[in-house]
Structures are given as structure tokens and as C-alpha cells.
């Protein structure tokens, strides 16, 4: 077997990959796309580890005026090198490259110091340009570089540096900002989002809006922020997300690229297994017409994308298929969003894990505050962070909708793990089965005792949240025997019952109303109110109309780790 090029696991940038003779999947066609519309601000949004950073280094090395001849060699043999009309732009522009990845901090003060350090380092790298500056510019440049400038100066530092570079090179400047949203995600997790977003908004607005020294700005991230209009004031702004109709092939690997990789490393026999584990992302989405059942009227050719990080690691590990991507980075954003998990979300995730798809209204702008309370926002976030993918994109009532599904076995595992973190008590399978059996047998005492045992000892931030208990009960219902039909929030009588269940032969049915209260002393009173609600709103009407013979009514009230249950036989 001939010696093969090494897999670029751990390679920090484009130049290291090329000079180290690592295997490189050619993405230089992205340069052509950018040059074809060479103006404004472009934002490319993809999940983590989908090749954003390597592409940004590629852009830097292509345009960088300071290393024109040296960097030209990096592109020999690649797609862009054979296009002289585009290669004329190689090494032509001063470039500002900023990575905001390493901004983890517990407080805004700590994060601000890290942001200052990043900016100061960029100024240090360009310090040779100071000799042409006016005295007042020279002084400000040094203050920013030494980390002693004012916060206003740091907010304006991107604009100021483009001015200085333009003076020195007499050429417009290219700005590249990698992982622009990393500090915002971290600030959200730690509770100082407003301060972080205020700084980032001012920094970007000053540097990118109406900047006569700017040729083009390219940014990458995972999510597009909606708060306080981070991008709304920018000129010629274009965002390219996982549902955009173009740019899909530049981030991640296509089927052809994966086949070539496997052929090179003599692992072609692994292709079908790798498809199951790491394929399944649908980029370059086109709107489709749908039937009444939600299926597409006509199949179209889709651009399927493989997770590049997982593919490279799998080949490096001699073809072992296991989760690689889900063990990188952190999932703080989804973990925090999960704090507001509702029974509806639990039901949707459960159905997705069963191989079904689910439609939501598409919203490409993320509002952090809505993640904990809005089912649509939570599922959109799962889409843009790579845990779900588009099955069908379509129009309904003049709005875009997407049918979502779990893309592959790797992401399925992380969704399963997320579900397990919501309700860790379901690892006690025997106890869960005992609760279900007590319901079937109408054994109120066993129902209460076993349900209480499930709650005891489980420490969770959901505790004493009605959303938690509703989700818990939905999970319980999924363990009921298959002959039982389960429905959540079923329209019945004058309102919606929390849960309705009945067997297929219609001999027995159940209606459940769930409440929670702050004090133990209020549990019985709250439980009685729940039973009154069942009667007053005629929740039993639906089951009566279905022809269910025996209907049992249950009112459950939760308080922290305790539960109070009231049971009655419905009188028709």
C-alpha cells in the first residue's frame, strides 16, 4: 500500500494543510463565488466543525497583500488556480482576520479583556504601518495595541484599522471575522448577553457600515442574532444559512468528495455505513409544493452533505463509525434552551426519534430569550446547530416552513442523550413499568407511590415547573402498552385535556389533568380544582363520542418531589 497523505486532524489553518501535504478537499470555488459579488457583508452560517475556519484562513491566504508570492504557491493545482480572471485578485488586498472563538469568560469584565487582547494582537501584527500615520493616529494606534485605550476606541477599532491600512497600502481592506457569535453564545450562558451584544453591535456597525475603506467583509457563525439588530444597518448584507439555495457545497463534504476520500484511503467498502452515520444534511434548499399530508408533490435532486469532521476522524480511526462530532465543543445553548422544555417539545423529539418528520415555521434569526419558552425557536435552533436537518422547504400562508428530521445516526445519539438528560429517572425501567401497570389497574395508591419514587432523588432545574411535569407525563405515556392510544392536549368539550389515553377496543379510557403548586399545604386544594376543571370543561366528551365504555378521570398535583392524586369514574 502506497504511503498516503495524512488526514488533517489538528491542522490549524489552510496554509498548514497545504504545506504539510495533508489531504485537502478543495473548497476554493468559494473564492470565485465571493469575487462574483465582491461587495458588502456576507455571513455564512453553519454548524460547528463544518469547515468554516479553514475556509476563512483560505480566504485570508488568497487575498493577503503582504504575502502575495509566498501564498500563490498554496493554490497551485486547486480549482481557483486555473481561473486567471480570478487569480488576478490573489495577494491584492490588506486583510484583517479576526477569530472570536476563544472568548470564554464568566463575567463581562473578563470577556471584555479577552476581546481587547484579540484586538490588540491584530494591531500588533500590523504595526509596521504606523510610520505613515499622523501623530494623533499613531498615539491612538499604540493605545489600542497596548490595551490601554477607552472602550469607545475599542468599539471603533475595526473602522480605525481599516482606515490605517487603506492609508498605507492605498487599497481597500477585506475584513474576515470567524465565529462572530461565539462571545454572544457564551455571554448568554453566563447571563451578561446585553453587555456583550452591545459591544459586538457597536464594533461591527462602526467597522462595516458605510466604511469607505472596506472592500468586503466575510463573517462566519452558527446562528444569526436578532437581538438589537446586529446586522440590520449594514450595507449590502447577505446571510447564507443551511436553508439558503446557494453556497451549500462549500461547507461540509459532498457525496462525490466522500467517495473520492474513501477511494484514496482504500475504504470504499465503508461507504454505506458512513452514509448512515454522517450523511443526511440537506443544503441548497429549494422550495417545493406539498400534498395535504405534507409530502412533496415532486421529488427534486438535493445536495446532501456529510459532516466533514466526522468523516475525517472516521478515516483516521481506520473506518470505525462512532460519534465524533457530538463530542466536540459544547452544547450550552441547547442545554440552556432545554430548561424550558415543554410536553410538546418532548412529544416532537420522541416522534423524531421514531423516524418521523415535523413541520415548523422557519425563522433564521435567533432570539435568545425565546429559546426557553418557544417550541418553534427551540426547533429552529436545533436545525441551525446541526442536530436536525431540512426534509422539505415549502410555503404556507405566505410564510416559509420546513419539515425537519434527524439527519443520521450520529446526531440521533445526541438527541437521545438530550432526552435522557431531561428525564434521567427513566433509566429506572422497572419503576416506570410499575407506574404504567398501576394506571391500567386503576390502583391509585400504587400509582402515587411509584410515581413519587420516580421523582425522589432526581435533582433537576426543572423541578416545580409545570413544563417539566407535563413532559415527564408524556414520557410515561410512551411506556404504556401498544394497545393504548395516547394523545396530548386533546381538544375536548370546552378546552384541552392535558392527556387522554384509551385502548383500541374502546373498553377503557383515561383523562389526566396536571397541576403544580408551590406549597405542600396547597396540593389537595389544587388537585380538587383540577378535577373540577375536568368536569366543568367536559373533557370526557371526546372519549364518550369515540364510544369508550369506561372512562377514568385523574387529577394530579405536583409539588417538588411529591404528587397528590385524585381519581374518579366518569359518569356519562
71 and 58 co-located in one domain = yes
In a domain, 4, yes or no: no
Q: Is 254 exposed, middle or buried (0-12, 13-18, 19+ CB in 10 A)?
A: middle
CATH of the domain at 58: 3.40.50
Q: What crossing angle do the helices spanning 429-440 and 444-455 adopt, rounded to 10°?
A: 160
Tell me, yes or no, whether 414 and 449 share the same domain. Answer: no
Do 222 and 157 fall into the same domain? yes
In sequence order, the β-bridge partners of residue 253 are: 306
> CB of 432 within 8 A of CB of 426?
yes
Domain annotation covers residue 2: no
Within this chain, do residues 414 and 436 fall inside the same structural domain, yes or no?
A: no
Q: Last residue of a domain, which of 196, 216, 240?
A: 240
Based on the domain organization, do 228 and 214 belong to the same domain? yes
Domain boundary among 385, 420, 455: 420
Strand order across the 508-516 sheet: 484-492, 495-503, 508-516, 550-559, 562-569
In 3-state terms, what secondary structure has residue 147?
A: coil
Residue 8 lies inside a defined structural domain of this protein: no
Judgement on whether residues 168 and 299 belong to the same structural domain of the protein: no
Per-residue pLDDT of the chain (572 residues; tens, 9 = 90+): 578 999 999 898 999 999 999 999 999 999 999 999 999 999 999 999 999 999 999 999 999 999 999 999 999 999 999 999 999 999 999 999 999 999 999 999 999 999 999 999 999 999 999 999 999 999 999 999 999 999 999 999 999 999 999 999 999 999 999 999 999 989 988 899 999 999 999 999 999 999 999 999 999 999 887 755 678 778 789 999 999 988 999 999 999 999 999 999 999 999 999 999 999 999 988 888 888 777 888 888 889 999 999 999 999 999 999 999 875 554 555 665 555 566 678 778 888 988 999 999 999 887 777 776 688 888 998 999 999 999 999 999 899 999 999 999 999 988 888 777 776 656 667 888 899 999 999 899 999 998 888 887 554 534 556 677 887 888 888 888 889 988 766 555 456 778 899 999 999 999 999 998 988 999 999 999 999 999 999 998 889 999 999 999 999 999 888 899 999 999 87
Burial class, 444, CB count within 10 angstroms (exposed 0-12 / middle 13-18 / buried 19+):
middle
User: Are 362 and 244 a contacting pair, CB within 8 Å?
Assistant: no
Verify that 427 and 416 share a domain, yes or no.
Answer: no
Host H or E run for residue 529: helix 523-536
Task: Judge whether 248 lies within some domain.
Answer: no
Other beta carbons within 10 Å of 322: 14
The beta-strand segments (E) located in 362-435 are 365-366, 389-396, 399-405
Q: Is the C-alpha dihedral spanning 101, 102, 105, 111 positive or negative?
A: negative
Give φ, ψ of 445 to 5 degrees: -65, -45
CB 548 within 8 A of CB 518: no
Residue 508 lies in a domain: yes
The range of the structural domain enclosing residue 331 comes to 253-420
- Provide the number of structural domains found in the chain: 3
Do 264 and 143 have their domain in common? no
Same structural domain, 28 and 45: yes
Same domain for 332 and 295: yes
Q: Residues 433, 392: one domain?
A: no
Q: Which residues pair with 238 in a beta bridge?
A: 42
Q: According to the model, what pLDDT value does residue 1 have?
A: 53
247 within a domain of the structure (yes/no): no
35 and 161 fall within a common domain: yes
Residue at a domain's end among 240, 269, 301:
240
pTM: 0.83
Instruction: Please report whether residue 291 resides in a domain.
Output: yes
Amino acid at each position: 500500500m502506497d504511503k498516503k497523505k495524512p488526514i488533517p486532524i489538528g491542522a490549524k489553518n489552510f496554509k498548514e494543510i497545504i504545506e504539510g501535504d495533508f489531504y485537502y478537499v478543495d473548497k476554493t470555488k468559494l473564492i470565485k463565488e465571493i469575487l462574483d459579488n465582491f461587495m458588502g457583508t456576507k455571513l455564512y452560517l453553519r454548524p460547528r466543525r463544518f469547515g468554516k475556519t479553514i475556509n476563512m484562513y483560505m480566504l485570508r491566504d488568497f487575498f493577503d497583500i503582504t504575502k502575495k508570492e509566498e501564498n500563490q504557491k498554496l493554490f497551485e493545482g486547486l480549482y481557483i488556480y486555473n481561473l486567471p480572471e480570478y487569480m488576478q485578485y490573489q495577494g491584492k488586498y490588506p486583510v484583517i482576520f479576526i477569530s472570536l472563538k476563544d472568548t470564554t469568560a464568566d463575567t463581562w469584565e473578563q470577556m471584555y479583556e479577552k476581546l481587547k487582547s484579540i484586538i490588540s494582537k491584530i494591531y500588533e501584527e500590523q504595526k509596521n504601518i504606523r510610520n505613515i500615520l499622523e501623530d494623533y493616529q499613531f498615539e491612538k494606534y499604540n493605545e489600542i495595541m497596548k490595551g490601554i485605550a477607552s472602550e469607545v476606541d475599542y468599539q471603533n477599532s475595526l473602522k480605525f484599522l481599516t482606515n490605517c491600512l487603506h492609508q498605507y497600502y492605498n487599497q481597500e481592506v477585506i475584513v474576515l471575522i470567524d465565529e462572530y457569535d461565539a462571545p454572544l453564545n457564551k455571554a448568554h450562558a453566563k447571563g451578561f448577553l446585553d453587555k456583550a451584544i452591545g459591544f459586538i453591535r457597536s464594533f461591527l456597525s462602526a467597522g462595516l457600515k458605510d466604511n469607505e475603506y472596506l472592500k468586503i467583509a466575510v463573517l462566519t457563525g452558527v446562528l444569526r442574532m436578532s437581538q438589537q439588530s446586529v446586522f440590520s444597518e449594514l450595507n449590502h448584507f447577505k446571510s447564507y444559512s443551511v436553508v439558503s439555495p446557494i453556497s451549500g457545497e462549500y461547507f461540509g463534504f459532498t457525496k462525490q468528495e466522500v467517495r473520492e476520500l474513501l477511494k484514496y484511503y482504500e475504504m470504499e467498502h465503508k461507504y454505506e455505513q458512513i452514509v448512515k452515520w454522517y450523511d443526511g444534511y440537506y443544503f441548497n434548499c429549494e422550495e417545493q409544493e406539498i400534498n395535504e399530508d405534507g409530502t412533496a408533490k415532486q421529488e427534486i435532486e438535493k445536495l446532501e452533505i456529510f459532516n466533514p469532521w466526522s468523516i475525517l476522524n472516521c478515516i483516521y480511526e481506520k473506518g470505525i463509525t462512532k460519534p465524533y462530532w457530538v463530542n466536540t465543543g459544547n452544547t450550552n445553548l441547547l442545554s440552556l434552551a432545554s430548561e424550558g422544555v415543554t410536553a410538546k417539545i418532548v412529544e416532537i423529539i420522541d416522534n423524531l426519534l421514531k423516524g418521523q418528520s415535523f413541520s415548523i415555521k422557519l425563522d433564521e434569526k435567533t432570539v435568545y430569550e425565546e429559546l426557553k419558552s418557544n417550541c418553534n425557536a427551540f426547533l429552529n435552533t436545533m436545525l441551525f446547530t446541526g442536530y436536525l436537518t431540512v426534509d422539505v422547504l415549502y410555503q404556507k400562508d405566505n410564510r416559509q416552513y420546513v419539515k425537519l428530521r434527524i439527519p443520521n445516526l450520529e446526531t440521533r445519539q445526541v438527541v437521545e442523550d438530550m432526552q435522557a438528560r431531561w428525564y434521567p429517572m427513566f433509566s429506572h425501567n422497572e419503576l416506570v413499568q410499575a407506574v404504567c401497570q398501576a394506571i391500567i389497574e386503576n390502583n391509585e395508591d400504587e400509582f402515587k407511590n411509584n410515581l413519587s419514587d420516580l421523582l425522589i432523588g432526581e435533582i433537576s432545574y426543572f423541578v416545580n415547573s409545570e413544563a417539566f411535569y407535563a413532559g415527564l407525563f408524556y414520557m410515561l405515556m410512551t411506556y404504556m402498552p401498544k394497545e393504548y392510544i395516547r394523545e396530548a392536549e386533546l381538544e375536548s368539550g370546552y378546552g384541552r385535556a392535558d392527556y387522554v389515553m384509551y385502548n383500541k377496543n374502546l373498553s377503557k379510557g383515561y383523562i389526566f389533568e396536571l397541576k403544580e403548586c408551590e406549597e405542600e399545604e396547597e396540593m389537595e386544594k389544587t388537585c380538587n380544582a383540577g378535577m373540577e376543571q375536568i368536569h366543568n370543561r367536559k373533557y370526557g366528551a371526546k372519549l364518550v363520542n369515540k364510544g369508550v365504555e369506561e372512562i377514568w378521570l385523574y387529577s394530579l398535583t405536583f409539588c417538588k418531589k411529591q404528587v397528590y392524586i385524585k381519581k374518579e369514574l366518569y359518569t356519562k
